[in-house]
Structure 1
Amino acid sequence: MGYTTHVVGEFAIEPPLTWSEFKDSEFAPDNVENSYTPSLTLRTNEQPVEKEDGVFLHRTATALVMREIDEYRERGLVAEVQRAIDSFPGHTFSGRLECEGEENTDIWRVIVRNGRAQRIEPRIVWPDEVDTT
């Protein structure tokens, strides 16, 4: 057992990824083989589409989400988010991941700013002190 981090949240993807864009990606749900890697996966939507030949599934990916991993040990989460962003040029990722470690002061976020994943830590200010920054 080691230090674990609880992560919630997601990054919406605009425009949604098409099947041909994500089918071979390490982040595609069908390609995840390891119970820990990658820690992120694509949320997919399937819509039945009627054609002359029958009903087909139109599959898109609309978000990058955290997988459900017991005892998640955050190692390289920001780099993994960046790898996902770099894998899909021409798409915008918006949202955030909220991260909370075992210690009560270990809280932070992963955000995307100008196409770059960043770790953001909170700044705590006492209400009776003047913020000079």
Structure 2
Amino acid sequence: MSYITHVTGEFAITPPLTWTEFKDSEFAPDTIVNSYDPDLILRVAETSVDTDDGPLLRRTATALVMREIDEYRAHNLLDQVQKALDAFPGHTWTGRLDCEGQENTDMWRVVVRDGRAVKVEPRIVWPDEDGGL
């Protein structure tokens, strides 16, 4: 059995990606054929817009989220987030992915800073022994 990492959270995309921007992307739900690659997927929102020709279905990608992968190992998570950032320039990415491994001290996050995917690890600080908690 390999080491498993549980990942929660998302990156909201502002403005949302248009259909033209994401339809052929490896992160688009309709293009994924491999059960383990890529690790992330775009969340697509569909809205009906009234037009002179009748209702039009508009699809936009509003967030980048983790796929449901059994026994996920997170080896390439940081690279995958960066690949998505690079694929869609001109958008703002807000949020984070919280990652927790099988060991109780294995916690970290993926955040976006200045257009780069960054791994952030927590700092554990002991309280002052004289001051209590």
Instruction: Answer yes or no: same fold by TM over 0.5.
Output: yes
Deviations 1:6-33 (A, max 9, x none): 0000000011000000000000011111
For structure 1, the residue ranges without an aligned partner over 5 or more in a row are none
Percent identity, aligned pairs only?
A: 69
Q: What is the aligned partner in structure 2 of residue 128 from structure 1?
A: 128
Q: What is the aligned partner in structure 1 of residue 34 from structure 2?
A: 34
Q: What is the aligned partner in structure 1 of residue 66 from structure 2?
A: 66
| C-alpha separation in 1, matches of 2:128 and 2:3 | 34
| C-alpha separation in 1, matches of 2:128 and 2:24 | 54
Deviation of 1:94 (Å): 0.8
| C-alpha separation in 1, matches of 2:76 and 2:66 | 13
| C-alpha separation in 2, matches of 1:70 and 1:27 | 18
Deviation of 1:50 (Å): 2.0
Correspondence 1:1-133 to 2 at 5 A: 1-128=1-128
> Match for 1:37: what amino acid?
D
Deviations 1:71-108 (A, max 9, x none): 10111100100000000010011110000000111000
The count of residues paired between Structure 1 and Structure 2 equals 129
Runs of 4+ residues deviating >4 angstroms: none
| C-alpha separation in 2, matches of 1:5 and 1:34 | 19
For structure 2, the residue ranges without an aligned partner over 5 or more in a row are none
| C-alpha separation in 2, matches of 1:111 and 1:23 | 25
| C-alpha separation in 2, matches of 1:112 and 1:37 | 21
RMSD over aligned CA atoms reads: 0.9
Deviation of 1:114 (Å): 0.6
Deviation of 1:128 (Å): 1.2
| SS at structure 2 position matched to 1:112 | strand
| SS at structure 1 position matched to 2:50 | strand
